[in-house]
Amino acid sequence: HYKKYVQADAPTNKTLAGLVSQLLQFQEDAFGKHVANPAFTKFPAKCFLDFKAGGTLCYILGAAYKYKNEQGWRRFDLQNPSRMDRNVEMFMNIEKTLVQNNCLSRPSIYLIPDI
């Protein structure tokens, strides 16, 4: 159901692979272990390795293209430091999409009362 977001600029296998690479690199640069105060938690690597139709990677790419379309961007610019906030916002939208579609769940932590 993301078809309408990619029709104007239909991605090829190479552009999709490039986008996945950029998303992974941005994630590492912005939220990786070397970052002092990351604004977000990285998605698990397994999310990017689910190549099934309707799999997690499909939702990640679909949500990214939807966000790009809604923001009126001509292209993804994940290396530009001035776009950091917008890109973090895109990752938050992607996370929301993954949670809604049961591709990503937030961990539940239980603590005993006498800690």
- CA 107/CA 32 separation, integer angstroms: 19
Domain-located, residue 112: no
Q: Assess whether pLDDT exceeds 90 at residue 114.
A: no
Q: How many residues does the chain have?
A: 115
Q: Which residues of 40-70 are buried (b: 16+ CB within 10 A; e: fewer)?
A: eebbeeebbeeeeeeebbbbbbbbbbbbbbe
Domain-located, residue 70: yes
**Alpha helix stretches (DSSP H) within 32-83:** 56-71
State which amino acid sits at residue 23: L
pLDDT in tens, 5-19: 777 778 899 999 999
- Residue 96's Cβ-side half-sphere holds a number of Cα atoms within 13 Å equal to 10
Domain-located, residue 84: yes
Domain-located, residue 107: no
**Does residue 56 contact residue 104 with C-beta atoms inside 8 Å?**
yes
Domain-located, residue 22: yes
pLDDT in tens, 62-95: 999 999 999 998 899 999 989 999 999 999 999 9
Domain-located, residue 110: no
Domain-located, residue 82: yes
Domain that holds residue 68: 3-101
Domain-located, residue 43: yes
- Our count of domains for the chain comes to 1
